[in-house]
Structure 1
């Protein structure tokens, strides 16, 4: 089992990595969002022509698993850098979003009026 790494520690490592290479000047919100989009697209590319069954087994092949992990890491790196630049706590933002979604999309049958389902 790997040791637990916190988000703040990762953001610090990413900031140090960028600072050592004088890349901070390029890490504007606009550039980080563009880079995030590119990396997300590279992740999509891995799955683009797979069937649903093949996509469910993508991690079974060591080469494709490595590619998926690398692209997930790239997406997460740019997302964490964007959050750092904008002063957003990504875990707090996610928690708040889940709270809103739990209200917007209640468990079916939990309320008499289920008009907020995704099908509405």
Structure 2
């Protein structure tokens, strides 16, 4: 299901079905989902640990697959957390982007990291 045809809602529904079919709703509370999301983000980060940027080869199929698996795990937990708290991810993402645009105007921040 490519990004161009997937919707956030279709992905949320698929994650919710996966959880429901395994009777895992009782484990999917905000605290545990936030912890799990962080653990998966750390597993993604671990792939880069002790490597220089030039050593990271996204063309290496094994590395790319490992990275994409961890990225997907992070996203799945984001979707699960949104499901658990009843948050509309599209709305909150746009709202946060508007805040960031105000905080970091392009004219002042272009090409700057801090």
Q: TM-score, normalised by structure 2?
A: 0.87
> 1:109: Cα distance to partner?
5.3
Distance in 1 between residues matched to 2:32 and 2:106, nearest whole Å: 39
Aligned length: 111
Q: How has the CA–CA distance of structure 1 residues 53 and 84 changed in structure 2, closer, same or farther, with 3 Å as cutoff?
A: same
Distance in 2 between residues matched to 1:105 and 1:19, nearest whole Å: 41
Structure 2: stretches of 5+ with no match in the other structure: none
Decide which moves more: 42-51 or 101-110: 101-110
- Contact 1:35-1:78 within 8 A present in 2 as well: yes
Q: Which residue matches 1:54?
A: 55
Q: Which residue matches 1:93?
A: 92
| Other structure's SS at 2:106 match | coil
CA RMSD of aligned residues (A): 2.0
Distance in 2 between residues matched to 1:109 and 1:45, nearest whole Å: 33
Matches within 5 A, 1:4-43: 4-43=5-44
Q: How has the CA–CA distance of structure 1 residues 60 and 24 changed in structure 2, closer, same or farther, with 3 Å as cutoff?
A: same
Answer with 1 or 2: which has the greater Rg: 1
Distance in 2 between residues matched to 1:51 and 1:24, nearest whole Å: 40
Distance in 2 between residues matched to 1:11 and 1:109, nearest whole Å: 36
Q: Which residue matches 2:46?
A: 45
Q: Which residue matches 1:84?
A: 83
> 1:118: Cα distance to partner?
6.2
Structure 1: stretches of 5+ with no match in the other structure: 111-116
